[in-house]
Structure 1
Amino acid sequence: MSMGDKVTNIWKRASDEGENREEIPWHLKYGGRTLGTFAGIVNIFTGIWNAVAILFLNTDCVFGGAIQLLVGFLLIALEAPFLCVFIDYMQQVSDIAESKPYWTRAVFYIIVSIIPLILCFGPSTLIASALVFCTGLLYGLMSVGKKGSREDMGAIASPVDNVSQPMGGHHTTFMDDPDVWRPT
Structure 2
Amino acid sequence: MIWGGRESRLSTLVPVFVAVVLSLALGLFAGYTRGRSSALVMRIIDILFAFPMVLLAIGLATALGPGRWTIALTIVFTATPYLTRVVYAGVRAERDKEYVEAARALGASTGTVLLREILPNVATPAIVYGTTLVGSMIVFLSGLSFLGLGTQPPTADWGRMVSEGAQVLVLDAAHVATAPALAIVSVALAFNWLGNGLRDWLDKR
TM-score by length of 2: 0.24
Task: Choose 1 or 2 for highest CA Rg.
Answer: 1
**Greater relative CO (CA pairs within 8 A, separation 6+):** 2
**Which structure features the higher share of helix residues?**
2
